Structure formats: structure tokens, C-alpha cells
Amino acid sequence: MNEFLYLAVTGTNIPQGVDWTIIPVLTDGAGIPSSNAWQAEITPGNVATNYKVRATSKDNASFYDEVNLQVWKIDIVETNIYVAVSNTVSLHLTPDSSLDAQWTVIPSVQNGASIQGSSVGTSVVVNAGSIASNYMVKAYAPDFSNCYDTCSVTVLKVESIQLVSGATSSNVIPTNTWADIKDTNSPTEYVVVRAEIEPDIDPTSLPADFISWSGGEEVTTNQLQRKVPKNVSAHTELVATCGGSSATGHVWIIWAELEIRTTGSTTNTPNSARFESNRLDKTESLGAVVYDYLIPDGTQYVFWAKAAAGKVIPIGKLQPSDVYTVVSNGFTIERYMKRHEYIDGNVWTSRWCDAWTFDSYTQDEDKKYNPPDSLGQIYDLDAPNITKFISPDQVLDSCERYDHFKQYVTWNGAICSSNALWHWFARWKDNTNLDLQINLKDIDVGNPDFPSGPYYNPP
């Protein structure tokens, strides 16, 4: 609208030239900023309509000539539009724009954004198509290359969901799946994921609710993100949708309940490890058992004694129970112990500890079943015992074991269960009547108080 038009007159009956006028005269419309008797400078103004420019003879007012002047105005209301693939958006000219503007989309891409329906008029419908990209919609006056306006139209689609923070894919089988351990201390901890969109833009530029989500909770400062609370063990499916595009991610919050099973049999837990058939009481029974034990002396077995063992199966019951379908490795059951033990009525120094100490026997892989089974469980196995020990110290008359155990489940090295406590309290005393040698064999959950001293006096 900043162009100038120059008109001039020639002819007879105008010896003194002409006077110039524009019809109609409109506020802010076309005008004549300068003229003389023979030519005039015409400005189009800012009102789109049809005018007449009249040149009237100064010598004869009834002698004139005139020319039609059509002033075009193209002004798009919208300036920067975001639209999801497969969706449509309408663009409009301002009310004072010309009526018959032509519309086009640049660039023209197969299956990309295009004009839907008529491409002539004061408004147009743009179909986003399926190709995410930056487009320019142009409205222009026919035959006037310099009379146009443009609007930026960005067509967006969701490509994937990616992890931002709070979880890991280590030891997780499927793609677009992440896991972490339940947070028992701070319910405000979250796993945060992000919808990756194409083209990549500042999320603050998007209209409200441009990306729709299912699953998880809203991140109020960024609609491209979603969060999952870590205070509940659960599987959360997250779906981000943008028009005709969507992407899915999965977050697993893992926990375990640890049962210390002291009754029944290993055969009731078909996937657990088994006690060795030639050891202890040679059965798969759980709980406290008494059996005959041939005491070795160097390379010789020299006499029989009674022995007792507390046979347990710690069972880690994973939550959610179907987590084994996505997380197949990284689990273990750890065991720590405290113990007060006595030999021949005195403190057994080499077998005494007041602080939780790692029990290296939990490293015996043949005693474990760490990959989760189809029940969503992992297993450990233990059987602390008592008899007339000859190592690391020789028992002469009596020995007493008061052992506390603490166990928990870990995943990827981090604790993912509460502590499960159990104990083995047992006493052995030399007696020619073998049936009287074991007078305590207590295997059960919990950590009862240690006795204040030995049960038996020194011999």
C-alpha cells in the first residue's frame, strides 16, 4: 500500500490544464498528495475499494476525463500458527482487506500442508497434511506481485517419548521403557519424560493443550513433559498425541516385599534353589531340623554328633507382579548379620559382631534364583546350623549361636524393599546321649534380643 501512481493528461480544450479529484473522498483513502495542471501523484491510502480519478478542464468544468482506480489491501489476521498433522486451521483477512485475495502454501510438498477447498476469498482452510515442517501461507492480489501478506504455519507431529530424568533403561528390555525404584521417603520425586516433536520448537510457543497426554501427571511449566510419581509401585503407560500423530512410553516403579519362609518345603516354591541332597537332613523341608552329623577330624570321620539347622527361603515378591516382562536382570537379595556366639561358655571372639556385617554366603549363585520368574519372584536360600564345630575353633563342650539376619532386595545395586528380619538361635552341648545335645533350635522372623550371656558355663 506504499506505492505511488502517476497520471498525466494531454488533449485539446485544456489550454490552462486540469484540476484533479478522487471520487469518493475517504478518510485514509486514496489521495493526491501533489499535482499540477498536467499531472498528479496518486497514493492508494489504506482503504481498499474502487475509486475514480477525474481530470477536469480549468477552462470548461463540463469537460473532463476519468480513470478507474482499484486499490487492493491484503492483511492476514493471524501471524504465526501451529497446527498438528492431519488437522486443519483457518486463516482470515482483516475486515478492511480486499474480497478476492488468492491464497497459496509455500513450499508445495506432496502430502504436506495445502489449501483445502477454495483458495479465493477473505478466509481459507489450511490442511496440515502429514509432513511436519515450516510452511508459509501467502494471500495476494491477482496480477499484483507486490500486494500480499504472509502467515507462518508450523505443522507439528510427535516423533517419540524420551526420558528426561528420574529413571533408567539399564536392565530394561523394551525400548521406550524406563524403570526406577519406589521412593518411600519423598512422594514428590518423579520420573519425567518428554514428547519429542518435529520440528523442535520452544514449548512456550505452543498454544495451551496443543499436546494431549494420557497417563501420568501434568508438568504445568512444559506441556511437552509428563511426570510419574515414584511413591507407588506401578506400571504407567504414557501416550502423547498431537493431531494424527502419537507416541507411547512406559514407566515402571519397582518395589519388592521380602518374605522369609520358614515352614513348608522348597518344593512349594518350584523355582527356588534346592538344598543339596547329601547335606543337612537330606530333605527339602524348611524350618528347624535335627540330624546326625559325622564329625571329621582331619581326613578321618571319627564320631557322630547331633546337629541342627534353620532352613529358610527368602522370597522377593516383585511389584508390580508382571515387572518380570520388562525387567529381567539386575535383582538380588542381600543378607547381613549380627551375631553373639559362645564357645565352651565363653565369648566366641572370631564369630562375634555387633554391627551389621555382609554375609558373604549370599554370593553363592547356586543358592539363588535372581532373574524373576513368571510369578514375579526371586529367591534366596540359607541354612545356618549348629553342631560340635571343629573350625575355625574346636568346640570341646558347648557352643551357642544367637544370630540376627537382615535381608533386602536390590535392583541395579539400589535397595528396593523394606528390611526383612529373621534369626537363628541354637545351642549344642556335649552329651553321650546324642538326643540331648541340641536343646535350642529357633528359626523364625524378627530379631529378638540377644541373651545377656552364655547359657552354658565353661567346662
Residues 324 and 183 grouped into a single domain: no
In one-letter notation, the amino acid at residue 154 is: T
- Domain termination residue (choose one: 254, 274, 303): 254
Residues 63 and 95 grouped into a single domain: no
Residues 48 and 196 grouped into a single domain: no
Would residue 458 count as lying in a domain?
A: no
Would residue 117 count as lying in a domain?
A: yes
Q: What is the pLDDT of residues 130-161, one digit of tens each?
A: 999 999 999 999 988 889 999 999 999 999 99
Is there a contact between 352 and 346 (Cβ–Cβ < 8 Å)? no
367 grid coordinates: 543358592
- Domain termination residue (choose one: 37, 52, 70): 70
Is there a contact between 103 and 61 (Cβ–Cβ < 8 Å)? no
Residues of the chain with pLDDT under 70: 1-2, 297-303, 361-368
CA atoms of 379 and 409, how far apart (whole Å)? 10
Boundaries of domain holding 386: 262-445
Given this model, what pLDDT does residue 5 score? Answer: 86
424 grid coordinates: 537363628
Would residue 451 count as lying in a domain?
A: no
Residues 152 and 168 grouped into a single domain: no
Residues 410 and 289 grouped into a single domain: yes
Residues 297 and 374 grouped into a single domain: yes
| E strand intervals along 166-262 | 177-181, 190-198, 212-214, 217-218, 225-229, 234-242, 245-261
- Domain termination residue (choose one: 26, 44, 70): 70
CA atoms of 104 and 119, how far apart (whole Å)? 7
Residues 248 and 304 grouped into a single domain: no
CA atoms of 283 and 289, how far apart (whole Å)? 10
In one-letter notation, the amino acid at residue 157 is: K
Q: What are phi and psi of 325, to 5 degrees?
A: -75, -20
Given this model, what pLDDT does residue 328 score? Answer: 85
Is there a contact between 135 and 154 (Cβ–Cβ < 8 Å)? yes
Residues 57 and 85 grouped into a single domain: no
Q: What is the pLDDT of residues 146-202, one digit of tens each?
A: 899 999 999 999 999 999 999 999 999 999 999 999 998 877 799 999 999 999 999
Q: What is the pTM of this model?
A: 0.83
Given this model, what pLDDT does residue 367 score? Answer: 65
Pick from 416, 22, 123: which is nearest to 256 by CA? 416
Given this model, what pLDDT does residue 1 score? Answer: 44
Dihedral sign of CA atoms 382, 388, 390, 392 in order: positive
Residues 26 and 118 grouped into a single domain: no
Q: CB neighbours of 322 closer than 8 A, spacing ≥ 6?
A: 235, 376
Would residue 456 count as lying in a domain?
A: no
Residues 38 and 127 grouped into a single domain: no
Residues 111 and 215 grouped into a single domain: no
Q: What's the structural domain count of the chain? A: 4
